[in-house]
Amino acid sequence: MSRASAIEVAGLDVVFGRGRRAFRAVRDASFSVTAGGSFGLVGESGSGKTTVLRALAGLLPPAAGIRGEMRLGGDPLRPARSRALRRRLQMVFQDPYGSLHPRHTVDRILGEPARIHGLDSIDHRIVDALADVGLDASFRFRFPHQLSGGQRQRIAIARALIIEPAIVLLDEPTSALDVSVQAEILNLLQRLRREHALTFVLVSHDLAVVSHMCEALAVMRAGEIIEMVGVEALRAHALQHEYSRELLQAAQGYRSTPAGMAPAEQ
Amino acid sequence: MKRRDPLLVVDGLRVTFDTPRGPVAAVRDVSFVLGREKLGIVGESGSGKSQTGRALLGLLARNGRAAARRLTFDGVDLLRAGEAERRALRGRRIAMILQDPKFSLNPVMTVGEQIVEAFRVHANVSRREARLRALAMLEAVHIREPGHVFDAWPHELSGGMGQRVMIAIMMVPEPDLLIADEPTSALDVTVRLQVLALLDDMLARRGAALIFISHDLGLVGSFCDRVLVMYAGRVVETLRADELQSARHPYTRGLLACQPRVDGDGSDLPTLNRDPAWLR
C-alpha cells in the first residue's frame, strides 16, 4: 500500500444479521484517500455510504460481520483499537441536534474528549477550539439548546478537532442546515482542512456538496461502489455509470413538462 | 368557476404566536394572489413559509392567531368562515401534503383502508366502489402492484411509495388547491423527481393549483411557475420561476449564490450577510 495514503480500504464487506436474515450492507468496497485529501462517498439511502464511514470510525455494532482490510496510515483498523489510534480519527455527525449532550455545557462537551485522551491545558484547548470554529469564549458555558443549528455543528466540529486528529469523517455534516448556514460550515471545514492538514472522508447525498468539498469521490448503490472518479469528471458532468448520471441529473432540479396552467392576473 | 378568477386572495396576512415572552410575529403582512398555477414559497427556517401554509388551512398551533385584510378562497371569506365551513373546505377543496409520510399516514391502518376512508368521507360511495376506486387511485400514482400496496401497512412502504400514497389520498376529493410543505425533502433525489413528476401530472389532469413550500430554491425554481421568497415573516421578492437567476433582492441573490454547484470550482462560497434593513 502506498505511503501517501491516509486511509486504505480494500475489499470491505459489512454484513448485518446472520443466516437467512443476513444483509450485506457493504460489498467489496475498496478505495484510498491520500493524506490531506478529501474523499466523497455519494449515494442514496441504503447505499451503504454511512456504513462504510461507521466501519472506519469503529462505530458498527459488535455483531456486525466485517471482512476486508482497513488501514489508517498503514496501521490496521480493527474493531478493537488503541486509544492512540482512536485519537487519529474523529467523526462529525449529521444532526447537530442529536449529537451533542443536551445537559452538558459546551465547556464539558469539548473538555471530555480532551480529558479522555489525557491532554494537558484543557482550558486553553477549549478556547482555541472555539476560536478555530469561529465562536468566541462566551460560548463555553452555554447549553446546546441555547445555540442555533449552525453553532451546534460548529461545536460538533470543535469537539472532533480538539484532540488533533489527522482524519475527520463527516457524515452529511450540513444536510440538516439552511443553505446559508451550510455555506458557512463548508467554508469553515475547508479552512480547517488547510490549516490543520486534515484528511476528510465526506458522506453526502448531495453531489454539489461533494463537488465543492472533495478531490475524488465514489458513487455507491446497494452496498457497492459503482464508480470512482476525480472531481473534474463530476464537474464536467462526465460520469460514466448510468446511475451516477441519473443522480447528476436529479441534482440539476426538475425538468417540467408544460402543464398549461396560467398564473392569475394580479 | 371561471378559469381566470383568482382561486386564492391573500392580503396582509399576519400570523402571531402567543408565547410566555409575549407575542411573536411569524408572518408579517404577506400578500399574494393565486391562480391555477404552481406557486413556490421559499425561505429558510423561521421565515414563516410553513405558517403561511398552515394559516390558509386554519391549522395553526393553539397559541397562534391569523389575521388579514382579506383572505378568500374561491369567493369564500376564510376569515369569517366558521369552523364547520372551514372543515368543509379542508381536504375537500384544499388539501395538504406534509414532509414525511411516516408521520402523516395512520400507522395502524392499512394503506388501502386509508384511501377507502377518504372515498367514503368525500365521495359517499359504497365500500365496494370505494375499494375499486382506491385501487385505481394507487394505479394513478404509478404504483405497480396496487393490490399488494393496498394491503400493506405504512411501515412497509419506502419514503417515495409513502409519499405517492399521500398524494393519492389527498387527490381523492379532487381538491382545487394543494398545499405541499416540503413534500419531497425526506426523499432520495432520484425518487424526488418521480414524485414531483407525479404531482405535476395529477395537478395538470385535475386543473388544480399548488402552493409548494420549500427551502430548496433550485428545486422550486425548476418546478413552479412563480416563486415568493420569504425572509423573517415577509415576502421580500416575487418572481417568475424562469427569472430566478435575475432576482433583484440581495437576500434572494445571496441564497442563490451561497449554494455549492456541481460544476463550481471549489473555492469558498459567498456567505449571506443579513442586512437589518431587510427586516424593515
Q: What is the mean pLDDT of residues A73-96?
A: 92
Q: What is the CATH number of the domain that holds B86?
A: 3.40.50.300
Strand duo B226-231 + B38-42: pairing: parallel
Print the domain residue range for B74: 1-90+224-280
The string of pLDDT tens digits covering residues A229-265 is 999 999 999 999 999 999 999 888 887 544 333 333 3
Do B268 and A190 count as a contact with CB atoms less than 8 A apart? yes
Q: What is the mean pLDDT of residues B39-65?
A: 94
Q: What is the mean pLDDT of residues A110-124?
A: 95
* Residues linked to residue A89 through DSSP beta bridges, in sequence order: A167
Distance CA A228, CA A216 (A): 7
CA-to-CA separations, B257 to A182, A187, B264, B266, in angstroms, rounded: 12, 14, 11, 13
B2 within domain boundaries: yes
C-alpha cell at B36: 391555477
Do B226 and A257 count as a contact with CB atoms less than 8 A apart? no
B63 within domain boundaries: yes
pLDDT at residue A61 greater than cutoff 60: yes
Q: Using an 8 Å CB-CB cutoff, list chain B residues near A235.
A: 262-265
At residue B4, the pLDDT reads 61
Do B268 and A255 count as a contact with CB atoms less than 8 A apart? no
Do B190 and A247 count as a contact with CB atoms less than 8 A apart? yes
Q: What is the mean pLDDT of residues B64-82?
A: 93
Q: Checking phi first, is residue B172 left (phi over 0); if not, alpha (psi -120 to 50) or beta? A: alpha
At residue B3, the pLDDT reads 53
Percent of chain B with pLDDT over 90: 69
* Mutation target among B163, B269, B275 for the A interface, most CBs of A within 10 A: B269
Q: What is the mean pLDDT of residues B211-235?
A: 95
B84 within domain boundaries: yes
A261 CA: distance to closest CA in chain B (Å): 5
Cβ neighbours of residue B201 closer than 8 Å, sequence gap 6 or more: none
B137 within domain boundaries: no
Do B35 and A251 count as a contact with CB atoms less than 8 A apart? no
> Could you give the count of Cα atoms lying within 13 Å of B61 in the half-sphere of its Cβ?
8
pLDDT-based confidence at residue A19 (cuts at 50, 70, 90)? confident
B75 within domain boundaries: yes
Asked whether A214 and A207 are in contact (CB, 8 A), the reply is no
Asked whether B63 and B18 are in contact (CB, 8 A), the reply is yes
Cβ neighbours of residue B227 closer than 8 Å, sequence gap 6 or more: B39, B40, B41, B42, B217, B220, B221, B238, B239, B240, B241, B244
Tell the residue number behind the cell numbers 391502518, with chain if given.
B109
Distance CA B48, CA B175 (A): 24
pTM: 0.88
* Mutation target among B161, B215, B258 for the A interface, most CBs of A within 10 A: B258
Q: Is B106 helix (H, G, I), strand (E, B) or coil?
A: coil
Percent of chain A with pLDDT over 70: 95
CB neighbours of residue A82 within 10 Å? 9
Q: Does B193 touch chain A (CB under 8 A)?
A: yes
Do A264 and B4 count as a contact with CB atoms less than 8 A apart? yes
B240 within domain boundaries: yes
Do B189 and A247 count as a contact with CB atoms less than 8 A apart? yes
pLDDT at residue B142 greater than cutoff 90: no
Task: Using CB atoms, pick whichever of A246, A253, A265 lies closest to residue B219.
Answer: A253
pLDDT at residue A214 greater than cutoff 60: yes
At residue A260, the pLDDT reads 35
Task: Using CB atoms, pick whichever of B35, B262, B272 lies closest to residue A262.
Answer: B35
Q: What is the mean pLDDT of residues B55-77?
A: 93
Q: Checking phi first, is residue B233 left (phi over 0); if not, alpha (psi -120 to 50) or beta? A: left
B201 within domain boundaries: no
At residue B141, the pLDDT reads 87
- Work out how many CB contacts closer than 8 A connect A with B: 135
pLDDT at residue A49 greater than cutoff 60: yes
Do A184 and B265 count as a contact with CB atoms less than 8 A apart? no
Tell the residue number behind the cell numbers 478556547, with chain if given.
A127
At residue B230, the pLDDT reads 97
Q: Using an 8 Å CB-CB cutoff, list chain B residues near A256.
A: 200, 222-223
How many separate domains does chain B show?
Answer: 1
At residue B158, the pLDDT reads 86
The string of pLDDT tens digits covering residues B74-116 is 999 998 888 899 888 988 899 999 888 888 899 999 999 999 9
A192 CA: distance to closest CA in chain B (Å): 12
Residue A226: phi and psi, rounded to 5, are -100, -15
Of B94, B244, B99, B106, nearest to B171 by C-alpha is B94
* Whole-complex ipTM: 0.84
Asked whether A5 and A69 are in contact (CB, 8 A), the reply is no
Task: Using CB atoms, pick whichever of A209, A255, A262 lies closest to residue B36.
Answer: A262
Asked whether A139 and A147 are in contact (CB, 8 A), the reply is yes
> Could you give the count of Cα atoms lying within 13 Å of B60 in the half-sphere of its Cβ?
21
The string of pLDDT tens digits covering residues A180-190 is 999 999 999 99
* Mean per-residue pLDDT over chain B, rounded: 91
Do B269 and A261 count as a contact with CB atoms less than 8 A apart? no
Strand duo B8-19 + A224-230: pairing: unpaired
At residue A256, the pLDDT reads 57
Q: Using an 8 Å CB-CB cutoff, list chain A residues near B270.
A: 183
A259 CA: distance to closest CA in chain B (Å): 6
pLDDT at residue A3 greater than cutoff 60: no
Residue of A nearest to B263 (CA): A235
B8 within domain boundaries: yes
Do B270 and A183 count as a contact with CB atoms less than 8 A apart? yes
pLDDT at residue B143 greater than cutoff 50: yes
Do A183 and B44 count as a contact with CB atoms less than 8 A apart? no
C-alpha cell at B4: 381566470
Q: What is the mean pLDDT of residues B1-15?
A: 83
Q: Does B200 touch chain A (CB under 8 A)?
A: yes
* Mutation target among A261, A265, A266 for the B interface, most CBs of B within 10 A: A261
Q: Using an 8 Å CB-CB cutoff, list chain A residues near B262.
A: 207-208, 211, 234-235, 237, 248, 251-252
pLDDT at residue A17 greater than cutoff 70: yes
Residues 20 through 79 of chain B touching chain A, CB cutoff 8 Å: 33-38, 44-45
> Could you give the count of Cα atoms lying within 13 Å of A176 in the half-sphere of its Cβ?
18
